[in-house]
Structure 1
Amino acid sequence: MATTSCPRCQQPVDSQAISCPFCRTTLKAYGHPGIPLHRAKGKEYLCDSCTYHADNSCNFPQRPYAKDCTLYENLEQSKLEREKQPYSSNFGINVKSWVNRNQTWLLLLGLLFVCFLIAMSLS
């Protein structure tokens, strides 16, 4: 059994425990012991350094004053991870990725081109 310490009372607690058996502090997401519950330290709010708050994709009800959250992703850490990812220099992969992202526009452009060809052949 892996153990960790409670952030409030510092007692040893099972790493899969949802709450501390000593002080009842919530440690994990309710019913999901595999999902960590991130906690703000001091008077700071988690939203101040969260990726989801920065890109405005967060729908957490306590936003922007969340002190604990299961979806928290550190903004600085995610920036560092993106910088570490190697840039793909393979032209084929980049083109394929661009086509996948813009399928709708390519389909619309193709349809307009076919309409243009039909109109040119009728005149």
Structure 2
Amino acid sequence: MPDCPKCHQAVETQALECPYCRTPLKAHGHPGMTLYQATGKEPLCLTCLYHEDDTCTFPKRPFAMDCTLYCDRTRPSTLTKPGYSPGFQIQVWLKRNLTWIILAALVLISLIIALLQ
């Protein structure tokens, strides 16, 4: 069971607010949206990955004490990102443009057949 960031009491995982101090634990009253909260006087932005790479769109930035977008830069990411090697980029481009490639090949073959006759 996780702890409340304010009173440090154990609370249920799906609890919308702490039953002891009434601190909101989920964003907008939705059990699926985690609300990250600063535990001290330091804002979350100082340790957030999105603030570091300047992609944060949260309106309370850079002094947010609570945030739904927070991603701790000191912890490894749990999201698996595909590799961006040149081979991977070519595969993605081919998948996106397969229709145009086939159409261009048909036009090219038709031109070659027409010129050979």
For Structure 1 versus Structure 2, the TM-score category normalised by the shorter chain is 0.5 to 0.7
Task: Report the RMSD for the aligned CA atoms in angstroms.
Answer: 3.5
Quick one: distance in 2 between partners of 1:100 and 1:51?
Answer: 31
Amino acid at match of 1:20: C
Quick one: distance in 1 between partners of 2:51 and 2:86?
Answer: 33
Amino acid at match of 2:90: V
Distance 1:10 1:54, change over 3 A: closer
1:96 maps to which residue?
A: 91
1:7 maps to which residue?
A: 5
**Matched pairs, number:** 99
Q: Identity rate of aligned residues, in percent?
A: 47
The DSSP-based 3-state class of the residue aligned with 1:20 is coil
| Structure 1, unaligned runs of 5 or more | 104-123
2:6–2:39 Cα contact (<8 Å) kept: no
Deviations for 1:25-49, whole angstroms, at most 9, x for unmatched residues? 1111122112221122322111112
Higher share of residues assigned helix: 1
2:11–2:19 Cα contact (<8 Å) kept: yes
Deviations for 1:39-62, whole angstroms, at most 9, x for unmatched residues? 223221111121221222222121
Distance 1:52 1:28, change over 3 A: same
Output the TM-score relative to the length of structure 1: 0.59
Counterparts of 1:45-56 in structure 2, within 5 Å, are: 45-56=43-54
Higher share of residues assigned strand: 1
